Structure 1
């Protein structure tokens, strides 16, 4: 089993690589090789099987052709220009999120090998006039360029799967929190930083009110679900290859309460409340009464409580002082 992670240098890509290295198998077969590809050189991962790293620009068809080969069995397509970045730089978002996805699908079609393709979509495809509750068959009505680009990617994935060019399965990811590392250009970045930075003894800014609701999943659970998603049988996926990945809805205040229960009262004192209308405008367009019935029937799961999300960060990612 030869696996390729496009976006293998990112937080989720790296965690997925480590999980696959520990597991050693996928889809009931031993992993023969793992390749991590990204726009910059991904960090290497140790495993009992060969692990390669390479640069890949999915906006460049030649780069995609060099990265996806005839012996590639499973592709994770995680690479993306994140929400606020795609909103600020329309061309970059289109080149990566839309045309990059198309380039990967086209490479698979031309190879004729029908690889399993796991595509990371987003809850940003919901919004606008779409009515709550939302789920696998809700009408996409994104209110950001990023959400629109991901929605088009979902349609392409379904059609290329219907034609037998790929064995696709797409997952609309909740906002992943608590993410390690530094803030990025995602509009949702504060949903990790208001927890991560205080847990690390640093000040953080919260640009929305405590009652702001959103839909979350921990990095650990996300990776577990991506592995399960690759292992699903095609016959169980039905005519719609895209589904909502399970998550849970909490308010910002509940996130902070969870952090306090796990880590005590001091971290919450490092949060500074500073309303930022532009950030709130983007994230308020993402609906939150979301249901993941299909994925749950197929065995994917959400975190039991946000206290778990905080504990996972402390166990997996908090820097050692």
Structure 2
């Protein structure tokens, strides 16, 4: 009896695995799993006898059937080709983000056991003209190939849930800030970079206007919400399984102000402001604030303010 985590070797996936292990037997509603299978292009860094790794590509023919077998209680599908690479390499993005999702859903369907299926989606499903605060009923209108693949994945999870093939939960993640390590291929990578690099004494760039609103969450808040997504009863979510996970609305300029308050004037001075049209075209199409009354009522949580997000990163990673 196991839980599967695709993308389990990554920053988010490995933290979800650690959180699941800590919550086992303590979190009400969480399936009583015995082991966790990490699926990624590299072995999982979590060293625990209950964790094993399967290295491979979920979009490869036949691989998903090895991932989701009888006795799988739940699946976290976190693996994806990120927004920047998806825009630059259309075929790669669609193969992994859409075909890989369908393959995992089909493997779950084949078990006949309707496992819980947590699909990590994104605010990138939105685009075009939007209200100041996005309601739950706003239809996706993606302005990127990454967003389009995620929107199609959302519909698949909802329909497979309607048919009783899986017990799905679609979690539209805020942009996760601050991610440690090196920049990745996400168009939103700068949102971590303008905090992470200056706190390490390294110069960084803000490529979008200061007034750009961003929907952000700390890693701890996102991981806690993903664990909760597996635990909450599907009947409580209702027939439409898509949730805008809670975040905080922060402008790029306010992020720099938080950096100055938490990291000091010297850190703030390391951030230059040079526009990058490619990044701005994608990021500025995303909404900056959401109505999250329903997720909050279901027990999901969010950060108190962005200063706390910066302090969380500083206290854990800055030496």
> TM-score, normalised to structure 1's length?
0.95
With over 3 angstroms needed to count, the CA separation of the structure-2 counterparts of 1:30 and 1:317, relative to structure 1, is: farther
User: Who is 2:37 aligned against?
Assistant: 35
Matched residue, 1:199: 199
Post-superposition offset of 1:135 = 2.9
Q: What's the offset of the Cα at 1:299? A: 0.9
Secondary structure at the counterpart of residue 280 of structure 2: helix
* Partner SS, residue 72 of structure 2: coil
CA distance in 1, matches of 2:195, 2:129: 32
Q: Is the 8 A contact 1:136 1:293 kept in 2?
A: no
1:182–1:109 CA distance, 2 compared to 1 (3 A):
same
| Corresponding residue SS for 1:37 | strand
Residue pair 2:115, 2:166 contacting (<8 A) in 1 also? yes
Residue 294 of structure 1 aligns with which residue? 294
Deviation at 1:61, TM superposition (A): 3.0
- Residue 109 (structure 1) aligns with: 109
- Alignment of 1:46 with 2:47, yes or no, is yes
Q: In the TM superposition, what are the counterparts of 1:304-319 in structure 2 within 5 Å? A: 304-318=304-318
* Structure 2: gaps spanning 5 or more residues: none
Secondary structure of 2:269's partner?
helix
> Does the Cα contact within 8 Å between 1:21 and 1:46 map onto a contact in 2?
no
TM-score by length of 2: 0.95
Structure 1 match to 2:220: 220
- Give, in whole Å, the separation in 1 of the partners of 2:118 and 2:220: 17
- Does the alignment pair 1:22 with 2:19? no
Moved more, 134-143 or 81-90: 134-143
Secondary structure of residue in 2 paired with 1:147: helix
How far the C-alpha of 1:83 sits from its partner, in A, is 0.5
Q: Distance in 1 between matches of 2:260 and 2:70?
A: 51
Q: How many residues align?
A: 317
- Provide the alpha-carbon RMSD of the alignment: 1.5
User: What CA deviation, in whole Å up to 9, does each residue of 1:153-212 have, x standing for no partner?
Assistant: 010000000111000001111111011111011100000001001111111111122222
Residue pairs, 1:157-172, within 5 angstroms:
157-172=157-172
Report the equivalent of 1:210.
210
